[in-house]
Amino acid sequence: MAEVMPIPIELATLGGDLSMDSYYWNSGWYTCNVQMAGELQPGDSIIDIGSGAGRLAYGLHEWFGGRYVGVDVMPALVEFCKKRFPRFEFHHLNVYSPFYNPNGSKDPDAGRIPLPDQTFDLAVLLSVYTHLLPDTFRRVTADVARLLKPGGRCLATFFLLDDKTERSHFQFAHERPECRIENAEAPEHAVAYPRRFVDDTFLAAGFKVKSARRGSWTGAPGLSFQDQLLFTKD
C-alpha cells in the first residue's frame, strides 16, 4: 500500500505532540494498545472519539480491514485526516471546547455524534474524559452507549482518584462538584474523578467493567500515563 502523506509539524503539535518523533511513537503505542487492551479484531467497526491528528488512524491504515471512523472537535485536524486517510471516515463535531474549538456551539446537542445507533464494535476515547466536566462526561458516555452494538467495547482513559492515589504529576488540588481539577482558571485542562463516579456513570449507561489498568501519572509503574478501563456494553 502506498505511503500516506506526511503530517506537517504544526498539525502534529496541534494534536498534542511535541515533535515528529513523538507523533510516530504515540501512533505505534496507540495502535498496539487498542489491539491488545481494546481487543481490536481485523473486521471490527471502530469509532475513535478524539481522533486528533490521526495517530491511531496512521497505525491502522496499512492493515486494518474493518470500518474506522474518527471524530474530533478540531476542524483543521479533521480536514487533514480526510485527505491523508481517504479510506477512513472522519467527522467534525462543532461543539465548544475552550482549548480545542473555542468557536464551537455550546448547545449540548452539538456534541451528539451524527451516526446511527448500534453501529460500532469498539469505541476508543484516549485522553478525552480527562478534559470533560461531569455533565459532558455523562452525555458523552450515553452517546457512546448508543453507538455501540450489544456486547460492544469501550476503551477509555481517565485520571482516577482514590484514597491511595499519590499525585506525583498532577495534584488536582481544586475540588469541584463530583470531580477535581488541576487548574482553577482552566477547569478542562485536566480533570480527575473518583473511581466510583466513573463506574456509576458507565453502569447507568449500560456498561460493565471488563478490565482496569492504573497509569503512571501517579508515579507508580503503569501501562500508560493515564488510567485505562475497558467496558463492555450489555
CA–CA gap between residue 153 and residue 145 (Å, rounded): 9
Q: Where are the domains of the chain?
A: 9-160+199-217+224-233
Q: Which letter, b or e, does each residue of 48-77 get, where b requires 16 or more Cβ atoms within 10 Å of its Cβ?
A: bbbbbbbbbbbbbbeebeebbbbbbbbeeb
Predicted pLDDT of residue 1: 47
Closest by CA to 7, choosing from 221, 15, 166, is: 15
Predicted pLDDT of residue 223: 83
Per-residue pLDDT of the chain (234 residues; tens, 9 = 90+): 456 889 999 999 999 999 999 999 999 999 999 999 999 999 999 999 999 999 999 999 999 999 999 999 999 999 999 999 999 999 999 999 988 999 999 998 889 999 999 999 999 999 999 999 999 999 999 999 999 999 999 999 999 998 666 667 889 999 999 999 999 999 999 999 999 999 999 999 999 999 999 999 988 888 899 999 999 999
Q: Is the dihedral of CA 56, 61, 66, 67 positive or negative?
A: positive
By the 8 A CB rule, do 143 and 206 touch? no
Please list, in sequence order, all residues whose beta carbon lies within 8 angstroms of the beta carbon of residue 207, skipping any fewer than 6 positions away.
141, 145, 154, 231, 232, 233, 234
CA–CA gap between residue 205 and residue 144 (Å, rounded): 9
Predicted pLDDT of residue 164: 63
Predicted pLDDT of residue 160: 95
Q: What's the CATH class of domain 9-160+199-217+224-233? A: alpha beta
User: What's the pTM value of the predicted model, to 2 decimals?
Assistant: 0.95
